[in-house]
Every structure is written in structure tokens, then in C-alpha cells.
Amino acid sequence: MKRTLNPPSLPKPGRLHYSQVVVKGKMVFLTGMVPEDSEGVLAGSDIRSQTRRCLENMRDAIESAGGSLADICYVTSYLQDKLRDFEGYNEIYGEFFPTDKPARATVGATLDGILVEIQGIGVLD
């Protein structure tokens, strides 16, 4: 059985057709986390602030499924300007995943009004 969740602490999907968290068995799939709070307010204009908000949203999302950041196994991160922002992004990312880091891909992407978006896959114990 598949469960879908849209935790109240995350930005609302609004008119878009997706679930923020999908749980299937022990697998947890997290949508691309954007740097906004539950009211849709952008978390600053710099890569560190935006990365922090994305990862706080990721933490809230995995916790809504009964897990923690330690359960994240794979992350894909999209950076508006990978060359300029990678160092700041990576610094904050390391604060959220200090040990047993997930596998990760980080790619440059055209993002609409934000600097970073982060999605993940977790496995619950």
C-alpha cells in the first residue's frame, strides 16, 4: 500500500499535482524541497539560507513518515549557479549530514526564482 503525505510545515503544493512525501513499504520518496516555509516565504536570497531551509523541509518531510535524516540514502540537489554556489551549499549540507552521508548528485539547473532545490529517497528501519 502506498501512503502520501503533505506535512503542514512544508510549502503548500497549491494547484500543482504532486505529493510531498510518498511512502511505499520501507521506501520514502521526498519531492524537491524548495527554500520556502509553510507560508511560501522564501528563506533569504543567499545559497546558505536557502540550502538550510530546503534541508529543514527535508527533515520535516522524512519525520512525517516516521523517519529521520539518518534514513536518507540518496539526494539529488539542483543549483541555479553550481559554480558560484556549490561551496556554500556544500557547507550547510554537511551540517545536516555530518556522518553516514547519503549518496548524492548535484547538478546545475534553471530554477524559477530560487537558488537550490533538494529531493531525496529514504529507507525506514
- The residues, ordered by sequence, that sit 6+ positions from 119 with a Cβ below 8 Å of its Cβ are 30, 31, 32, 33, 75, 76, 77
* CATH 3.30.1330.40 describes domain 2-12+19-123: yes
- End-to-end C-alpha distance for the chain, whole angstroms: 17
pLDDT bucket at 113, cuts 50 / 70 / 90: very high
- Alpha-carbon span 22 to 97, nearest angstrom: 22
Whether the model pTM is above 0.75: yes
* Helix, strand counts (H, E) of the chain: 2, 6
- Least Cα distance to 34 among 111, 117, 119 occurs for 117
Query: pLDDT per residue over 27-64, tens digit each?
Result: 999 999 999 999 999 999 999 999 999 999 999 999 99
